[in-house]
């Protein structure tokens, strides 16, 4: 066997070993938690939990603010060309309106001050609001 061939194979093996060692070191560094960062409280700001059970809007698993935002975003986010209620009107309807269960649907209708809000509890991001009769 040619000695140059053996050296080439040996060099290639060393190169692969170095690359694998670098990859292992990078994984170890990236998977080591930063000691200066504390894990987020799931019930605190930015967490996934609701924290206070009073924030669970009608058993939906979302707060009233989140439901209002879902409705607002699904109805054009205040785009005047869409002629839909503002976020404040949606909030008032959810707060002061009397909920009415919609037959055959996991949804409720809230009406207050000329605004109708329909909350779809299966897909709250598809909830809607409008001015009845317009």
Model confidence over 86-122: pLDDT tens digits? 999 999 999 999 999 999 999 999 999 999 999 999 9
> Cβ of 120: how many Cβ atoms within 10 Å?
20
Q: What 3-state class would DSSP assign to 41?
A: coil
Does residue 126 belong to any structural domain of this protein? yes
Per the structure, the count of domains in the chain is 1
Does residue 101 belong to any structural domain of this protein? yes
Does residue 40 belong to any structural domain of this protein? no
Does residue 85 belong to any structural domain of this protein? yes
Does residue 109 belong to any structural domain of this protein? yes
Does residue 39 belong to any structural domain of this protein? no
The predicted-structure confidence for 40-84, as pLDDT tens digits, reads as follows 555 554 445 545 556 788 888 889 999 999 999 999 887 778 889
pTM of structure: 0.60
Range of the domain at 60: 54-130
Does residue 102 belong to any structural domain of this protein? yes
């Amino acid at each position: 066997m040619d000695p140059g061939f053996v050296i080439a194979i040996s060099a290639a093996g060393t190169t692969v070993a170095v690359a694998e060692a670098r990859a292992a070191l990078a994984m170890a560094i990236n998977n080591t938690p930063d000691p200066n960062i504390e894990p987020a409280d799931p019930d605190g700001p930015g967490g996934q939990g609701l924290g206070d059970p009073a924030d669970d809007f009608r058993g939906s698993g979302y707060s009233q603010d989140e439901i209002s935002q879902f409705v607002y975003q699904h109805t054009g986010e205040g785009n005047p060309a869409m002629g839909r209620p503002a976020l404040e009107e949606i909030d008032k309807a959810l707060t002061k309106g009397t909920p009415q269960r919609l037959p055959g649907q996991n949804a409720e209708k809230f009406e207050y001050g000329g605004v109708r809000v329909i909350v779809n509890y299966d897909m709250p991001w598809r909830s809607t609001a409008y001015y009845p009769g317009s």
